[in-house]
Amino acid sequence: MAKYIVEQSGPLVGEVEISGAKNAALPILAATVLTEGICEINDVPRLRDIDVMCRILRSLGAKVDEDWETHTIKVDGSGISVSEVPYDLVKLMRASIFVMGPLLARLGKASIAQPGGCSIGDRPIDLHAKGLRNLGAKILMSDDLVNASVDTLKGALVYLDFPSVGATENIMMAATLAEGSTTIENAAEEPEIVDLASFLNKMGARIKGAGTDTIRIEGVKALHGTRHAVIPDRIETGTFMVAAAITRGNVLIKNSVPDHVRPVIAKLIECGAVVNDELEGLRVRGDVNRLVATDIKTLPYPGFPTDMQAPFMALLTTVSGTSTVIETVFENRFMHAGELSRLGANIRVNGRTAMVPGDKRPLVGAPVMSTDLRGGAALVLAGLVAKGKTEVSEIYHIERGYEHFVEKLSGLGAKITRVED
Ligand code: UD1
């Protein structure tokens, strides 16, 4: 099993280029199932999760060409005829469930292994099912399988009890080919939803309101192939912003969309970091002021992203004063707190609240384990400032979501190497 060896590195300085967003590319690739035409997706990050989605598309009968020189994936879905996604693939990635809506719309049936829980929470799919049922689908859920079928999807009103990102995407995709109009209320507003809607509209869908809490979809008879470039990854952007701040460095983050990372910018400024929106990208400086504590509460977009909670917590272990971190989106997303405490952070967790005591006890390197994707990134960031050497294991979590993480950090002066055990 591979691991990262991270050494105390000093301030990170230089420029880094952000990749395309994994969480936008995944539903967009799933949406190619909706057409018999050819879709070309640009700026796709080369990541394990993307590879799994390509394998799923191939298993359904699509022809998928990956060109990693240009980060382009071409999908020819004319041969799609299989409606099952086996557990072998689903167990590798929960986002496999994204093909449920498109398969229902294209083939009238979908049979997908239950994704099950994961380390950050139970992560049920009841809202996906509720929405698709509203569109007329029959959905049978057993412990290990979700079976969905429909003669004709019919537009309907769908109210989401929570603005789930995945449920909004699944329902929006299915509704593009439904008869009549669909309204999703209390929809998720994340930039990835807007990117998916813009891809679907380029395919001929009629979607309005993506990016607000009410999305209206007028069903059309068929969608056609198109070409689309994925938005930059806002969580990778945020992670490098925190990397600049935690090391008290000065980093220019290129290919970033400032509007997508407003809450991260606001919280970094509250801590005393300096963030400038420059012509070429976002410049983050942690070397100007003494950094101080701030409180964080995760919320659906445009609130502070749950995916940035762990990386930001790493930063808060190094500032002056105690910070409170409240996680409201996932019920069990503090696994990294225990690992950060192995480096000396002394974080106290009580239910959905964590108290982070700050820099009274400087971090000291130790062996730690990634518990999930963003928690793993947090450990790497902490390792950059911990005295001595930090060994981060179970890094396959991190490599699911950060393209060329080691190379990009090294390019800024970080002392990090990937070693095979
Ligand atoms: C997506 C992102 C993930 C991010 C999350 C929240 C992708 C591939 N992943 O995950 O990185 O952390 O949004 O921003 O885009 N829920 C239900 N029932 C459902 C669906 C969700 O109760 O049917 C709950 C979940 O358990 C969780 C909350 O809603 O507590 C948010 O989940 P959701 O927004 O659906 O996240 P994902 O789409 O899985």
Q: Of 174, 209, 229, at which residue does a domain stop? A: 229
CATH code of residue 305 = 3.65.10.10
Question: Which residue's alpha carbon is at the smallest distance from atom 37 of ligand 1?
Answer: 166
Q: How many helices (H) and strands (E) does the chain have?
A: 14, 24
pLDDT for 75 beyond 80: yes
pLDDT digits (tens, 9 = 90+) for 366-413: 999 999 999 999 999 999 999 999 999 999 999 999 999 999 999 999
pLDDT confidence bin for 110, thresholds 50/70/90: very high
Do 39 and 114 lie in one domain? The reply is: yes
Q: Mark whether 201 and 307 lie in a shared domain.
A: no
Do both 203 and 324 map to the same domain?
A: no
- At 117 the pLDDT is 56
Poorest-confidence range of 87-96, 127-136, 154-163? 87-96
pLDDT-derived band at 360 (thresholds 50, 70, 90) equals confident
With a cut of 90, say whether residue 115 has pLDDT above it: no
324 in the same domain as 385: yes
Q: Domain ends where: 210, 229, 248?
A: 229
Report the alpha-carbon distance of residue 55 to residue 62 in Å, rounded.
Answer: 9
Residue 174 has pLDDT above 80, yes or no: yes
**Residue nearest to ligand 1 atom 26, measured at CA:** 123
User: How far is it, in rounded angstroms, from Cα 145 to Cα 94?
Assistant: 13
The structure's pTM equals 0.97
Structure confidence at residue 116 as a pLDDT band (50, 70, 90): low
pLDDT value of residue 123: 76
- Do 181 and 253 have their domain in common? no
- pLDDT attached to residue 307: 97
Average pLDDT over residues 275-304: 97
10-31 pLDDT, tens digit per residue, is 999 999 999 999 999 999 999 9
Q: Are residues 68 and 131 in the same domain?
A: yes
Query: Which atom belonging to ligand 1 lies closest to the Cα atom of 162?
Result: 29
Residue 271 appears among annotated catalytic residues: no
Question: What residues pair up with 390 in beta bridges, in sequence order?
Answer: 6
Number of domains in the chain: 2
- Which of 229, 251, 283 is the C-terminal boundary of a domain? 229
Q: Report which DSSP code applies to 136.
A: T
Domain range for 190: 22-229
Name residues contacting ligand 1 (CB within 6 A): 23, 26, 95, 121-128, 162, 164-167, 188, 192, 306-307, 329-330
| Ligand 1 atom nearest to 127, measured from its CA | 23
- Per-residue pLDDT of 139-171, as tens digits, reads 999 888 999 999 999 999 999 999 999 999 999
Same domain, 238 and 93: no
Per-residue pLDDT, 118: 62
| 9 and 119 fall within a common domain | no
Which numbered atom of ligand 1 lies nearest the CA of 163? 34
Residues 150 and 208 in one domain: yes
Give the separation between CA 105 and CA 109, rounded to whole angstroms: 8
Nearest-angstrom CA–CA distance, 44 and 41: 7
Considering the domain architecture, whether residues 210 and 257 belong to the same structural domain is answered as no
Q: 364 with 393, same domain?
A: yes
CA of 120 to the centre of ligand 1 (A): 10
Give the residue from 321, 336, 350 showing the smallest Cα distance to 381: 336
Query: Mean pLDDT of all residues in the chain?
Result: 96
Shared domain for 6 and 29, answered yes or no, is no
